[in-house]
């Protein structure tokens, strides 16, 4: 297919005495759906936080499209083409779904402060261009009826979708999904599987997903990495991982 989009080498992070991430090395190929699983505290979200630069690495390297990103300021990560969602949705609570998604277009803006102050013609043109992309994402995820609703009034399942929709508005090359099915009922989880497929195939984004729901993982992913206590246990196809003795031991005990 194509090459490696994201790779980490000996990634390590500790909080005081707790080793959250230990010498984690893995590669994600362009176009695949890569899942990271593991018991709680295994370091999965920490890896996401390292990639999106909310934390600094203690040791090791992360490369995106061949360039190291361990010193990139957090707000430049989106510009590079990496978007993420949060485990406990971090949406802009007082704004509408539309506004939230328009903020996702921030990295693609070309207007200067002065032109915005004066609302020169370039500004409304840009707004309309942004709006077209946002509407594409709304179509993809069927959010039409929620466009003008304030986030605070939305049910949990919809909020999770808005979280993903907002990330997609960045038009990312890589999408990091943090527990997309947590808090959802089985029907909603089915939908998640469908739209992960849509995002991967139609939208063309590589997806890395942290998940607990093994059904979803088996259905949606091409490869799975199992973590425990911050270290890599195994990498393989969903079937291989589900039957891997080390993985079973980590989840079920001896």
Partner 1 sequence: MEVFQLLVSGISQGCVYGLIALGFVLIYKATEMVNFAQGDMMMLGAYVAFTYINLMELPFFWGLIATVLTMAFIGVLIERALLRPMIGEPPFAVLMITIGLGFILRAFAGAVWGSDTKAISNPFVGGVVRLGEVSIGFENLAIISGTAILCLVLYLFFRFTRLGIAMQAASQNQLAAYYVGIPVKRIYSLVWAMSAAIAAVAGVLVAPVSLVEPVMGFIGIKAFAAAIVGGFGSLPGAIVGGLIVGIVEQFAGLYLPTGFSDTSAYVILILMLFIRPEGIFATMQQKKV
Partner 2 sequence: MRFIFKTKYKQDVDLFKHNGQRFWYGLLVIAALIAPFSLDNFYVGELALVYIYAVAGIGLMLLVGYTGLVSLGHAAFLAIGAYVHAYLLSRGWPFPLSLFSAGLFTAIVGAIVGLPAMRMTGIYLAIATLAFAIIVEQVIAHWESVTGGYRGMLVPDAAIFGIDISDGRPFYYLCLFVTIACLLAGLNILRGPTGRAMIGIRDSEISAQSMGIDLARTKSIAFALSAGFTGLAGGLFAHKLGYLAPDAFTLLMSIQLLLMVVVGGLGSMHGVFFGAIFIGMLPQGIAMMRDTLPAAVGQLPGLEPGIFGLILVLFLIYEPLGIYGRWRKIRQFFDEFPLYRKATHKRQKSYLRTERVR
State yes or no: residue 6 binds partner 2 (CB under 8 A): no
- Give the range of 15-23, 119-127, 218-226, 228-236 binding partner 2 by CB under 8 A: 119-127
**Which own/partner contact pairs does 14-17 have at CB distance under 8 Å and 24+ positions apart?**
14/58
Q: How far is the CB of 240 from partner 2 (least distance, A)?
A: 32
Q: Give the whole-angstrom CA distance, residue 164 versus residue 111.
A: 26
State yes or no: residue 45 binds partner 1 (CB under 8 A): yes
State yes or no: residue 49 binds partner 1 (CB under 8 A): yes
How do beta strands 67-68 and 223-228 pair?
Answer: unpaired
Taking 3-state DSSP, the helix, strand and coil percentages for the chain, each rounded to the nearest 5, stand at 45, 25, 30
Phi/psi at 48 (5° precision): -60, -45
| Of 54 and 140, CB closest to partner 2 | 54
Q: How far is the CB of 117 from partner 2 (least distance, A)?
A: 5
Contact track, partner 2, 62-81, x by CB under 8 A: -----------xxxxxxx--
| DSSP three-state, residue 64 | strand
| Of 148 and 254, CB closest to partner 2 | 148
Contact track, partner 2, 93-112, x by CB under 8 A: xxx--xx--xxxxxx-x-x-
Q: CB-side exposure of 176: number of CA atoms within 13 Å?
A: 23
From the list 3, 118, 142, 237, which residue makes contact with partner 2 (rule: CB under 8 A)?
A: 118
Q: Give the whole-angstrom CA distance, residue 161 versus residue 25.
A: 30
Cβ atoms < 10 Å from Cβ of 171: 18
- Give the range of 22-30, 64-72, 128-136, 195-203 binding partner 2 by CB under 8 A: 128-136
149 sits in the region (left: phi over 0; alpha: psi -120 to 50; else beta) called beta
Cβ atoms < 10 Å from Cβ of 121: 9
Q: Pick out residues in 54-113 that bind partner 1 (CB under 8 A).
A: 54, 86-88, 90
Residues at the site binding partner 1, with contacts judged by CB under 8 A: 45, 49, 54, 86-88, 90
Residues at the site binding partner 2, with contacts judged by CB under 8 A: 52, 54, 73-79, 83-84, 86, 90-95, 98-99, 102-107, 109, 111, 113, 116-119, 123-124, 126-128, 131-132, 135, 152, 166, 170
């Amino acid at each position: 297919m194509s090459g490696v989009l994201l790779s980490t080498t000996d990634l390590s992070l500790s909080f005081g005495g707790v080793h959250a991430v230990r010498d984690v090395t893995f590669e994600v190929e362009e176009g695949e759906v890569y899942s990271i699983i593991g018991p709680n505290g295994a370091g999965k979200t920490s890896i996401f936080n390292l990639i999106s630069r909310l934390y600094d690495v203690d040791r090791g390297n992360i490369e995106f499209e061949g360039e190291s990103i361990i010193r990139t300021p957090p707000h430049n990560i989106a510009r590079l083409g990496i978007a993420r969602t949060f485990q406990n949705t971090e949406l802009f609570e007082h704004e509408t779904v539309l506004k939230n998604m328009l903020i996702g277009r921030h990295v693609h803006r070309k207007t200067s402060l002065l032109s915005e102050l004066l609302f020169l013609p370039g500004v409304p043109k840009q707004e309309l261009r942004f709006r077209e992309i946002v509407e594409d994402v709304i179509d993809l995820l069927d959010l039409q009826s929620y466009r003008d609703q304030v986030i605070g009034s939305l049910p949990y399942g919809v909020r999770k979708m808005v979280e993903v929709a907002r990330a997609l508005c960045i038009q990312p090359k890589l999408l990091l999904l943090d527990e997309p099915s947590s808090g959802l009922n089985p029907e909603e989880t089915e939908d998640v599987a469908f739209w992960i497929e849509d995002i991967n195939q139609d939208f063309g984004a590589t997806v890395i997903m942290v998940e607990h729901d093994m059904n979803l993982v088996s259905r949606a992913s091409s490869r799975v990495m199992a973590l425990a206590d911050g270290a890599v246990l195994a990498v393989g196809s969903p079937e291989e991982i589900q039957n891997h003795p080390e993985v079973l031991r980590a989840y079920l005990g001896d």
